[in-house]
Amino acid sequence: MTSTSLTGHIFSTGESREWFEPLMGEHIAMRVESHHSNGAFSLTEIIVAPQAGPPLHIHTDADEVLYVLEGIVDFVCNGERFRTGPGGFAAVPRGSVHAFRNFEATPARMLVLLMPGGFEQFMPAMKNRSISDIPELAAQFGMEIVGPQIEPAGV
């Protein structure tokens, strides 16, 4: 069982982010990793390039909240579609088939909260790996790829 307390305080300026690109079109900055929260949660910041977004997938062991800070993002969860901009969010229960994608011409930026934490370590594990490694590596972090990227609405 995980504790819900942080292991210590964390202060961070906006400029202190270290960005990396684990998947084409997705720049990630780790903000709070699961080791900071005794495994209770993780918080990452993500910039999603135009036309980028993950394939349909399931987190088998984590709930996910995606909060849009900038841009417009399309979400799909269990077949239901949702489009939102800054201040909008999607809360996705574990076990749900979901994905997001930026269909706009400019990047989108989101905060991603996963509870419990641990999945955030998938991102750095993808560094310098082939796209063909994703399904096997994802499974090690409680994620199953179940389909392609989502298509624009009406396609």
User: So where are the chain's domains?
Assistant: 20-145
Query: What pLDDT digit, counting tens, does each position of 20-67 carry?
Result: 888 788 899 999 999 999 999 999 999 999 999 999 999 999 999 999
Q: How confident is the model at residue 129 (pLDDT cuts 50, 70, 90)?
A: confident
Q: What's the predicted TM-score (pTM) here?
A: 0.90
Which pLDDT belongs to residue 25?
A: 86
d(CA 100, CA 123): 16
Query: What pLDDT digit, counting tens, does each position of 84-107 carry?
Result: 999 999 999 999 999 999 999 999
d(CA 33, CA 123): 11
Burial class (CB in 10 A: 0-12, 13-18, 19+), 16: exposed
Q: What is the mean pLDDT of the chain?
A: 91
Residues of the chain with pLDDT > 70, as a percent, come to 97
d(CA 152, CA 155): 6
Strand partners, 7: none
Domain boundaries 20-145, CATH class: mainly beta
Q: How confident is the model at residue 3 (pLDDT cuts 50, 70, 90)?
A: low
Other beta carbons less than 10 A from residue 31's beta carbon: 18
